[in-house]
Chain A
Amino acid sequence: MKRVILIVSVLFLLVVISVSSVFYLKNYKNYLINSLETAVLNGSEELVYEVYESWEDKKDILGIFIKEERIMKISDAIFDSAIYFDTKRIKKAVYLIEELYQSELPTLSNVL
């Protein structure tokens, strides 16, 4: 009986961690995209740089459950956006961030 409780607890914990990671990613994605889009609208280079700094802080946490290759792609895109403040590069960063989030969702197409 104890073993059953332990197994169910472990599985429950895994589900909680998995669901939490999706919500964490969702909230962070919303912050990044909103900030980048606001920066484009207002022409604010400082805001893009803030996004860059925030990403540098958070990417190690994301790296716990996301492949490094994808993190690096977004890092490059955000870095370019911060350096050049180019609308196209910012849009690319937004696209990559959204794509990352969509690929982490537990949808049928992702699972299959």
Chain B
Amino acid sequence: MIVLLRAVILYILIVFSLRIMGKRQLGQLQPSELVITILVSNIASIPIENPETPMLTGVIPIVTLVSFDLIVSMLSLRFKKFRTLISGEPMVIIKDGKIDQKALKTLRFSIDDLTESLRGSGIFDINEVAFAIIENTGAVSFLQKFNYQTTTAEMLDLKGKQANPPIVIISDGELIKSALSLYNLSEKWLSSVLKSEKLKIDEIFIMTADSDRKVNIIKKEGVS
């Protein structure tokens, strides 16, 4: 029972802590954030595995580490030099189509690592790359040479209207009012749409709408 309660409490604490730390995917974490994530998960397991250890030996380190991480990230935001000290700087490894072998050596980044990253981005020929930059997270960003870039509307001198993405306004039978206001859609308009479809809000699995008031409705299973 104690283990169960501790697991629940620490789970809530970790979720809350990670929520405070901000939204990043695992691969986008800065070094300090990665350290915190690993530490927090390991520390949390100690009081769960060992009921004789006081809960505070898990809670206090987690709260302290998360607080420090927030201070570090705020200082990083405020001071460029501090940010460079903590997170480093992105480095160019391919410039004007030429590989900077010295930079690769400094980063201990092998050519195999580079070609693997290329393939991950759908590039199978290194000669197609004009620029490549290693980010602080270790991810590699590429800019292909003009001849190999995906054709864009600008290249073909095409004119078109900027489309706004559809947003979810009803999710699993619940209305998201904040989404309506994003495209200045009213509840009155929504009611008229639902009336024409002969549907109620709670019968809808998902409903999206764009700025042109074009809607897409998926009904819940079992609704005729």
Contact = CB atoms under 8 A, between A and B. Distances in A.
Interface of A: 3-4, 7, 10-11, 14, 18, 63-69
Given A4-B74, A10-B63, A68 B56 contact: no
Contacts of B54: 63-68
Given A3-B70, A4-B74, A11 B52 contact: no
Contacts of A63: 54
A69 B67 contact: no
B77 to A, nearest CB: 11
Nearest to B60: A14
B52 A68 contact: yes
A14 B56 CA distance: 11
A4 B75 CA distance: 10
A65 B63 CA distance: 15
A67 B53 contact: yes
Contacts of B64: 11, 14
B8 interface: no
Contacts of A64: 54-56
Contacts of A7: 67, 70-71
A49 B137 CA distance: 62
Contacts of A67: 52-54
Interface in B9-47: none
Interface in B66-106: 67-68, 70-71, 74
A63 B67 CA distance: 25
A11 B67 contact: yes
16 contacts: A3-B74, A4-B71, A7-B70, A7-B71, A10-B63, A10-B67, A11-B64, A11-B68, A14-B64, A18-B60, A63-B54, A65-B56, A65-B57, A66-B54, A67-B53, A67-B54
A5 B50 CA distance: 34
A62 B176 CA distance: 49
Given A18-B60, A67-B53, 16 more contacts: A3-B70, A4-B71, A4-B74, A7-B67, A11-B68, A14-B67, A63-B54, A64-B54, A64-B55, A64-B56, A65-B56, A66-B54, A68-B52, A68-B53, A68-B54, A69-B52
A3 B60 CA distance: 19
Lowest 5 A-B CB distances belong to which pairs? A68-B52, A7-B67, A11-B67, A7-B70, A65-B56
A12 to B, nearest CB: 10
B85 to A, nearest CB: 20
Q: Which of A3, A4, A7, A14 is packed against the most chain B CB atoms within 10 Å? A: A7
Nearest to A13: B63
A68 B55 CA distance: 11
Nearest to A63: B54
Contact of B63 (A4, A14, A69): A14
A3 B67 CA distance: 10
Contacts of A18: 60
